[in-house]
Copies of this chain bind each other. A is one copy, B any other.
């Protein structure tokens, strides 16, 4: 620290204060993520563990640059993406890092920086009204939503913990009285609609209060964190600005309730992977702090160790390059390279028995959390302990009891290639849920083959609606037709009604990946459209005569009334060919008026005469062909997203909709082939054609469906499926075209 420019008397005071602090230093700070013992261990390894050292150097460079810039505390006014928002966000991220640097390096400048900024905030905070932007159901003071204020306190509590002993009791008094305690009170008692709820927002609130409670050793505050408010006075029908229900009768609240309810026993978080990622940081970092301070709580064993299971669930909810499947509201591209997952993986490593496969994820991340867990991970990598993290086919149940449907991920790996099916048959997923029962997405390595659109929002890009959810998120992204699943009569599942949707989940019917060459998921949905039952069965099948596994998709619908059924497939890339005549539109009109249809341009259509519709496209050097068993008068509609989009908020991606009109029963059977390659450098197109000669439904009654796939090289595949009996030991016998087929269990795959 350069002190020559500081007047002598000030220097003396400072030195005295430091000496006083040294003398007064209690034995219990830091206590949250860092501990005294942890710090000693880190210091003993400094300079010896490359990944930790580079992480430390990166953080030091970042913090030093901010210190050089000076302390900036603008009056809050902007949405996310705007200057004041981003500045205060940066402040809390840097404060936490400066706190850690103070502990690890013992350089005073970091302590001074944290202290001075906290004193600055202690002056500013009492003067602040509610944030001037009024969009949120729970406005903050530093930020437009209390959620971001809670983020602030989660990080700042850690910073304060790190420099607690450095700050004089007098300054601590000011910081706690004028800033931290009122801050915690405001986001909890002062914002019950935000705090006292089961939602990722509340988790942040609960953790913010809890982290501060641990630093302050305030048991009452800790109870408020773990168990929520005693009385919140909220009306029961209150909703947030995303349309999510705030209060459910008799629902527990607080941190523990936020573990109990949204996590399934498999560790799936009901909001989906994107928000699970967001919530995992407070979940895990607070769990670590609780473990350090309240080991008797055995938080990592809570609910059968669900917090650790959730880390594995989350890592499995990624494509081949670590990007989360964008279920529900989710920004595409978010991945396990995010800062949250760096912390989470490190914490899970230490508190989950040092699973060496986590080290390979950490190694990909290329950085570690600056703390004891991060050091342990960096050491493990230094000692070459890592093993590959093998992502497998996995079925993740949803719901607190695991009985609210789920998400199945089916993977087929071959050398470096990975095909992945994600079928969603989960519950609504709270306020960020989409109306897409039995929807799916499909990946060829990291390429979206049939995409889930994700959210309609540009997170933190201020120009785009303040970085917040855009209205197209509701009118498009959440609607059923935005997904690869069936829409009845151009209305979304549950009529797009959140409360109705929240009552039901789809049901798993069959999940069987025991044969790696025939991996199958089947689920039923009987509530999305009252009076209509829907079963979707998808199988990823390796078969002779096919270059790569193909995806078989069977949907059966049965209704009390005659309906129109639409099944969209949102492909990406360029259409190569179709085996039927179609018309393209001379003038493009929206496909419908509501439920998302108003956002689809009708590019073209065909009324089919054939019994097999085949469409091929090229995307990023691979060919794909979708072959569908169709009936005469089925319609195919070519669509493109982007109609009624006055602010260019939507991506203009294409889709194909299969439409059946005026029918009670309907069966959609399709096969998606991934095949061949094209390179603009060699200009060579390999295996550019479908291998399927015909696709047929050769049998269908109330209990069975049989599908036949004839391959161009003469291979014939039969797939027989028992639609009403999923017992694995059930014997079946079925006569098709005078031939009897006998098998045990729900499905039978036969190659002729």
Residue in B461, B584, B647 whose beta carbon sits within 8 Å of that of A678 in the complex: B461
**List of B residues within 8 angstroms of A574 by Cβ:** 458, 648, 651
Provided the pairs A81-B688, A618-B461, A688-B81 are in contact, do residues A681 and B588 lie with their beta carbons within 8 angstroms? no
In the complex, are the beta carbons of A586 and B684 less than 8 A apart?
no
Q: How far is the CA of A651 from the CA of B653 in the complex (A)?
A: 11
State the Cβ distance, A644 to closest chain B Cβ, in Å. 7
Interface hub of A337, A588, A590, A678 (most chain B Cβ within 10 A): A588
Does A333 make an interface contact (CB < 8 A)? yes
State the Cβ distance, A330 to closest chain B Cβ, in Å. 10
Does A652 make an interface contact (CB < 8 A)? yes
In the complex, are the beta carbons of B335 and A681 less than 8 A apart?
yes
**List of B residues within 8 angstroms of A640 by Cβ:** 642, 652
Q: How far is the CA of A643 from the CA of B467 in the complex (A)?
A: 33
State the Cβ distance, A251 to closest chain B Cβ, in Å. 30
**List of B residues within 8 angstroms of A616 by Cβ:** 463
Among residues 603 to 646 in chain A, which have CB atoms less than 8 Å away from a CB atom of chain B?
A: 603, 616, 618, 638, 640, 642-646
**A638, closest chain B residue (CB):** B648
Q: How far is the CA of A339 from the CA of B681 in the complex (A)?
A: 8
In the complex, are the beta carbons of A338 and B587 less than 8 A apart?
no
Q: How far is the CA of A327 from the CA of B680 in the complex (A)?
A: 15
In the complex, are the beta carbons of B601 and A460 less than 8 A apart?
no
**List of B residues within 8 angstroms of A618 by Cβ:** 458, 461
In the complex, are the beta carbons of A680 and B463 less than 8 A apart?
no
In the complex, are the beta carbons of A680 and B584 less than 8 A apart?
no
Does A205 make an interface contact (CB < 8 A)? no
In the complex, are the beta carbons of B682 and A645 less than 8 A apart?
no
Does A519 make an interface contact (CB < 8 A)? no
In the complex, are the beta carbons of A584 and B646 less than 8 A apart?
yes
In the complex, are the beta carbons of A683 and B644 less than 8 A apart?
no
Does A189 make an interface contact (CB < 8 A)? no
In the complex, are the beta carbons of B680 and A461 less than 8 A apart?
no
**List of B residues within 8 angstroms of A645 by Cβ:** 584
**List of B residues within 8 angstroms of A689 by Cβ:** 463
Among residues 516 to 569 in chain A, which have CB atoms less than 8 Å away from a CB atom of chain B?
A: none
Q: How far is the CA of A338 from the CA of B461 in the complex (A)?
A: 40
Mark each residue of chain A from 673 to 702: 1 if its CB lies under 8 Å from any CB of chain B, else 0: 000001111111100110000000000000
Provided the pairs A584-B646, A644-B586, A688-B462 are in contact, do residues A681 and B333 lie with their beta carbons within 8 angstroms? yes
In the complex, are the beta carbons of A680 and B81 less than 8 A apart?
no
**List of B residues within 8 angstroms of A648 by Cβ:** 574-575, 584, 638
**List of B residues within 8 angstroms of A646 by Cβ:** 583-584
Among residues 577 to 606 in chain A, which have CB atoms less than 8 Å away from a CB atom of chain B?
A: 577, 583-584, 586-590, 601, 603
**A583, closest chain B residue (CB):** B646
**List of B residues within 8 angstroms of A332 by Cβ:** 680
**A461, closest chain B residue (CB):** B685
Q: How far is the CA of A640 from the CA of B651 in the complex (A)?
A: 12
State the Cβ distance, A58 to closest chain B Cβ, in Å. 13
Count of chain A residues near B, Cβ 8 A: 55
State the Cβ distance, A457 to closest chain B Cβ, in Å. 10
Does A382 make an interface contact (CB < 8 A)? no
Mark each residue of chain A from 462 to 501: 1 if its CB lies under 8 Å from any CB of chain B, else 0: 1110010000000000000000000000000000000000
State the Cβ distance, A449 to closest chain B Cβ, in Å. 18
Provided the pairs A333-B681, A335-B681, A682-B339 are in contact, do residues A588 and B576 lie with their beta carbons within 8 angstroms? no
Q: How far is the CA of A646 from the CA of B575 in the complex (A)?
A: 11
Does A331 make an interface contact (CB < 8 A)? yes
In the complex, are the beta carbons of B461 and A688 less than 8 A apart?
yes
State the Cβ distance, A281 to closest chain B Cβ, in Å. 13
Does A117 make an interface contact (CB < 8 A)? no
In the complex, are the beta carbons of A683 and B652 less than 8 A apart?
no
Q: How far is the CA of A618 from the CA of B86 in the complex (A)?
A: 19
In the complex, are the beta carbons of A459 and B683 less than 8 A apart?
yes
State the Cβ distance, A475 to closest chain B Cβ, in Å. 14
Does A334 make an interface contact (CB < 8 A)? yes
Q: How far is the CA of A463 from the CA of B586 in the complex (A)?
A: 24
Does A654 make an interface contact (CB < 8 A)? yes
**A582, closest chain B residue (CB):** B646
**A615, closest chain B residue (CB):** B648
Q: How far is the CA of A459 from the CA of B590 in the complex (A)?
A: 34
Q: How far is the CA of A605 from the CA of B647 in the complex (A)?
A: 12
Q: How far is the CA of A576 from the CA of B642 in the complex (A)?
A: 15
Q: How far is the CA of A682 from the CA of B590 in the complex (A)?
A: 35
Q: How far is the CA of A53 from the CA of B534 in the complex (A)?
A: 59
Q: How far is the CA of A638 from the CA of B589 in the complex (A)?
A: 17
In the complex, are the beta carbons of B460 and A684 less than 8 A apart?
yes
Interface hub of A332, A647, A688 (most chain B Cβ within 10 A): A688
State the Cβ distance, A713 to closest chain B Cβ, in Å. 14
In the complex, are the beta carbons of B588 and A683 less than 8 A apart?
no
**List of B residues within 8 angstroms of A589 by Cβ:** 587-588
Q: How far is the CA of A575 from the CA of B648 in the complex (A)?
A: 6
Q: How far is the CA of A497 from the CA of B460 in the complex (A)?
A: 50
Interface hub of A339, A584, A618 (most chain B Cβ within 10 A): A584
Mark each residue of chain A from 408 to 429: 1 if its CB lies under 8 Å from any CB of chain B, else 0: 0000000000000000000000
**List of B residues within 8 angstroms of A583 by Cβ:** 646
Interface hub of A337, A338, A339, A601 (most chain B Cβ within 10 A): A601
Mark each residue of chain A from 254 to 273: 1 if its CB lies under 8 Å from any CB of chain B, else 0: 00000000000000000000
In the complex, are the beta carbons of A685 and B462 less than 8 A apart?
yes
Q: How far is the CA of A337 from the CA of B645 in the complex (A)?
A: 41
**List of B residues within 8 angstroms of A334 by Cβ:** 680-681, 683
In the complex, are the beta carbons of A460 and B652 less than 8 A apart?
no
**List of B residues within 8 angstroms of A643 by Cβ:** 588
In the complex, are the beta carbons of B682 and A338 less than 8 A apart?
yes
In the complex, are the beta carbons of B587 and A588 less than 8 A apart?
yes
In the complex, are the beta carbons of B577 and A463 less than 8 A apart?
yes
State the Cβ distance, A398 to closest chain B Cβ, in Å. 25
**List of B residues within 8 angstroms of A688 by Cβ:** 81, 461-463
Q: How far is the CA of A334 from the CA of B644 in the complex (A)?
A: 37
Mark each residue of chain A from 336 to 352: 1 if its CB lies under 8 Å from any CB of chain B, else 0: 01110000000000000
In the complex, are the beta carbons of B576 and A680 less than 8 A apart?
no
Interchain residue pairs A-B with the least CB separation, the first 6: A333-B680, A575-B648, A588-B588, A463-B577, A463-B576, A459-B683
29 A-B pairs with CB atoms under 8 Å apart are A86-B684, A86-B685, A331-B683, A332-B680, A333-B679, A334-B681, A334-B683, A335-B681, A339-B682, A458-B576, A459-B680, A459-B683, A461-B576, A461-B618, A461-B685, A462-B685, A462-B688, A463-B577, A463-B616, A464-B577, A467-B685, A575-B647, A575-B648, A584-B645, A584-B648, A586-B590, A587-B587, A588-B643, A640-B642
